[in-house]
């Protein structure tokens, strides 16, 4: 028995799927301590959109540490925080005409969500929040209450209340889920208390890669506006370019009232989160929502450096090109296996193969691991084999990984594929 199985809690999970002790990592590759290299189509569950140890970010971090820059400072003003805020304004907010204020909650995605939920309740004076089927918003109690997965919800150990789940885009087949939502909010007889907010992911990263159409998101924003309900977009996983644009909701032409970001916002895998709020919603009293690790300066330094990568527009274009390659090759694999119900889901550089039999999605991820590729499953029954490489991956590495995906599909589904390149 090694120290992990002896000492680390049974709650551990990824290390069970990938029984390797990892040591070094660079770009799109991770290395085990025995020297085995793995292509990373997991990308820290979205925390490593720019890959591992990106040289531009690493140089900024090393320089900061070398000059004894302040590491920990709660929410005191620091040079590193000023630089991050200025760059975030210049690169993200101003070009998009967004007038958000920036709150630094604790450093994880669920902290950003908890802050958003509390603020929406405080601003409106209402308790109820609407979420969507198969949503995932985090493991703390407020976030769990707006999360769909029954296994995760069961872990709460207390009733999860003050929320109702509504059907996500496409959940009801051809029936109009927005029409249903509109009636549940607007009808005094619906039994649903008038909500403070609706919280939504543009693509459900953990819930199975269902993607809301731009039209659906625009319709959702209109319903929220009509009923005086705040719209919260949880961009923790889809933000920072995962689906192409820096903010995943940009293409739908909507301006959410509140936006949650974390995972890749530091760009380097360092913990950091933001809750963006429309300026008029900033009704917090000083210190009303706090936390020891709000604003970790090394994360501000790498987060500011990461924004440099967005300035000339080439990153966004390259994501679109690589997403097309991924979609084309996955569609070919799916097309050969319609008998097994294989379909492609997702958008940008988060796409996956959906299986009728969830065991096949798990088997595919295992087969990929045996061939040197890390990828995980997603969905309520883990029925989706999910591909999420760094958005900075080069075309050759992307093709190398997709070759392994193809071989893994071949191994699990038992058909010789002709090569989808
Ligand atoms: N929201 C979304 C959309 C997520 O994907 C996640 C994490 N998978 C979270 C919130 C929670 O983030 P964290 O694990 O950092 O608390």
Q: Are 387 and 368 in contact (CB under 8 A)?
A: no
Write the DSSP string, 177-226.
HHHHHHHHHH-TTSSPPPPSEEEE-SB-TTTT--B--HHHHHHHHHHHHH
pTM for the structure as a whole: 0.97
Q: Are 166 and 184 in contact (CB under 8 A)?
A: yes
Q: What is the pLDDT of residue 1?
A: 66
Residues 6+ apart with CB under 8 A from 248: 202, 203, 233, 235, 238, 239, 242
With the most atoms of ligand 1 within 8 angstroms of its CB, the residue from 13, 14, 136 to mutate is 136
Q: Is the CB of 114 under 6 A from ligand 1?
A: no
β 384-387/129-132 pair status: unpaired
CA of 110 to the centre of ligand 1 (A): 6
Nearest CA to ligand 1 atom 1: 137
Please name which of 260, 327, 303 lies closest in space to residue 115, comparing C-alpha atoms. 260
With the most atoms of ligand 1 within 8 angstroms of its CB, the residue from 113, 263, 271, 379 to mutate is 263
Atom of ligand 1 nearest to the CA of 201: 3
Q: Is the CB of 233 under 6 A from ligand 1?
A: no
Q: Which residues of 236-248 are buried (b: 16+ CB within 10 A; e: fewer)?
A: bbbbbbbbbbbbb
Q: Are 89 and 310 in contact (CB under 8 A)?
A: no
Please name which of 303, 308, 310 lies closest in space to residue 268, comparing C-alpha atoms. 303
Sheet strands side by side (includes 230-234): 100-103, 274-278, 258-261, 230-234, 197-200, 129-132, 163-166
What whole-number distance in Å separates Cα of residue 391 and Cα of residue 66? 29
Q: Is the CB of 38 under 6 A from ligand 1?
A: no
Q: What is the pLDDT of residue 338?
A: 84
Q: Is the CB of 138 under 6 A from ligand 1?
A: yes
Q: Is the CB of 237 under 6 A from ligand 1?
A: yes
Q: Is the CB of 378 under 6 A from ligand 1?
A: no
Q: What is the pLDDT of residue 174?
A: 85
Sign, CA dihedral 173-176-177-183, equals negative
Eight-class DSSP state of 92? I
Residue percentage of the chain with pLDDT more than 90: 95
Q: Is the CB of 266 under 6 A from ligand 1?
A: no
Per residue of the chain (421 residues), give pLDDT as tens.
Answer: 699 999 999 999 999 999 999 999 999 999 999 999 999 999 999 999 999 999 999 999 999 999 999 999 999 999 999 999 999 999 999 999 999 999 999 999 999 999 999 999 999 999 999 999 999 999 999 999 999 999 999 999 999 999 999 999 999 998 899 999 999 999 999 999 999 999 999 999 999 999 999 999 999 999 999 999 999 999 999 999 999 999 999 999 999 999 999 999 999 999 999 999 999 999 999 999 999 999 899 999 999 999 999 999 999 999 999 999 999 999 999 998 888 889 999 999 999 999 999 999 999 999 999 999 999 999 999 999 999 999 999 999 999 999 999 999 999 988 655 566 6
Residue 172, sorted as left (phi over 0), alpha (psi -120 to 50) or beta, turns out to be: alpha
Q: Are 309 and 92 in contact (CB under 8 A)?
A: no
Nearest CA to ligand 1 atom 10: 137
Residues 6+ apart with CB under 8 A from 66: none
């Amino acid at each position: 028995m090694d120290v992990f199985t002896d000492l680390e809690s049974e709650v551990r999970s990824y290390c069970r799927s990938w029984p390797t002790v990892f040591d070094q990592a660079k770009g799109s590759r991770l290395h085990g301590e025995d020297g085995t290299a793995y292509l990373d189509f997991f990308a820290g569950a979205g925390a490593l959109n720019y890959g591992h140890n990106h040289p531009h970010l690493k140089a900024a971090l090393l320089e900061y540490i070398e000059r004894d820059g302040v590491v920990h400072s709660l929410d005191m003003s620091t040079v590193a925080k000023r630089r991050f805020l200025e760059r975030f304004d210049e690169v993200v907010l101003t070009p998009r005409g967004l007038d958000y204020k920036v709150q630094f909650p604790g450093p994880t995605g669920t902290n950003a969500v908890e802050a958003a939920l509390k603020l929406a309740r405080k601003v409106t004076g209402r308790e109820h929040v609407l979420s969507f089927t198969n949503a995932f918003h985090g493991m703390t109690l407020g976030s769990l209450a707006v999360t769909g997965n029954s296994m995760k919800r069961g872990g709460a150990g207390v009733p999860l209340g003050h929320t109702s789940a509504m059907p996500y885009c496409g959940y009801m087949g051809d029936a109009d889920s927005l029409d249903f939502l509109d009636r549940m909010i607007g009808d005094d007889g619906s039994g649903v208390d008038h909500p403070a907010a609706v919280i939504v992911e543009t693509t459900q990263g953990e819930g199975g890669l269902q993607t809301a159409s731009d039209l659906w998101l625009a319709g959702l924003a209109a319903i929220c506006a009509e009923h005086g309900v705040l719209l919260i977009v949880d961009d923790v996983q889809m933000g920072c370019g995962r689906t192409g644009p820096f903010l995943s909701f940009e293409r739908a032409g909507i301006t959410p009232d509140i936006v949650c970001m974390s995972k890749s916002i530091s760009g380097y895998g360092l913990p950091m989160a933001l809750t963006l709020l429309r300026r008029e919603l900033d009704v917090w009293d000083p210190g009303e929502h706090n936390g020891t690790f709000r604003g970790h300066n090394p994360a501000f330094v790498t987060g500011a450096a990461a924004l440099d990568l967005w300035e000339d527009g080439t990153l966004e274009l390259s994501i679109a090109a690589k997403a097309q390659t991924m979609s084309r090759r996955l569609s070919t694999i799916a097309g050969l296996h319609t008998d097994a119900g294989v379909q492609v889901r997702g958008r940008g550089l988060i796409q996956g193969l959906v299986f009728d039999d969830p065991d096949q999605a798990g088997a595919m991820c295992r087969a990929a691991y045996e061939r040197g590729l890390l990828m995980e499953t997603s969905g309520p029954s883990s029925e989706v084999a999910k591909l999420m490489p760094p958005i900075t991956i080069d075309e050759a590495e992307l093709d190398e990984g997709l070759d392994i995906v193809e071989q893994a599909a071949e191994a699990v589904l038992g058909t010789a594929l002709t090569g989808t390149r």
